[in-house]
Amino acid sequence: MKKYFITGLLICAGGASMAAGTQPGNDMTASLFPWVRTLHILMAALWLGAGALLTLYVLPTLRRLGAAGQPTLRSLEGLGLSRFMAAIGGLTLLSGLWLYWTLTAGLATAAIRSPSGIVFGLGALAGILAGIVAGAVISRSIKRLDALGERSADGPEALALHHRIARASRLALALLLVAVVAMSLGHTA
């Protein structure tokens, strides 16, 4: 089992050609690994950056503007903000799950229980939870807020939705930070 985990680490460290010969039939995985890892890193960076911008600046501004911010929210939704966030979050999670599967040799117990396996697993759990919070709470609440329209944008339901979005956004951002830190430390554990 250690051989498979070391193979994954060699591939991850850029030694795809060294690791490719360690297991018959692993050439495809070895050649895909750096590309999927690059996709994962880029999508995670986009997800974290967009989440931070929305959580720290855009959503609080829209909340302060009340009804006057409704056209901006509608415009953001019209431009596909929710679809963009779902796409980058989904690609991050799918590529991360593939990487974890590969690095743990198909979820081999010894690899999962290794220090690196534990750190990557905790990071994966944080990322998955962030995706659930984003999809189940934030996205749905933003759509409900958008559906209220300008007439109800200052009402109690809108205020409750703004508070729900703010809490969930802070939670998702914290989870994404945990995931990124874990992913960066996983190779040194």
The reported pLDDT for the residue numbered 1 is 44
Structure token digits, residue 93: 């999670």
Q: What is the 3-state secondary structure (H, E, C) of 118-165?
A: HHHHHHHHHHHHHHHHHHHHHHHHHHHHHHHCCCCCCCHHHHHHHHHH
Which among 121, 104, 91 has a CA at the least distance from the CA of 6? Answer: 104
Residues 6+ apart with CB under 8 A from 54: 85, 169
Tens of pLDDT along 26-83?
777 889 999 999 999 999 999 999 999 999 999 999 999 988 988 999 999 999 999 9
What average pLDDT score do residues 148-163 get?
Answer: 86
Q: Is the pLDDT of residue 16 over 70?
A: no
C-alpha to C-alpha distance for 179 and 159, rounded to whole angstroms? 30
C-alpha to C-alpha distance for 99 and 7, rounded to whole angstroms? 12
Tens of pLDDT along 95-109?
999 999 999 999 999
- Alpha-carbon separation of residue 24 from 13, 19, 28 (angstroms): 20, 11, 10
Could you give the angle at which helices 2-12 and 27-53 cross, rounded to 10 degrees? Answer: 60
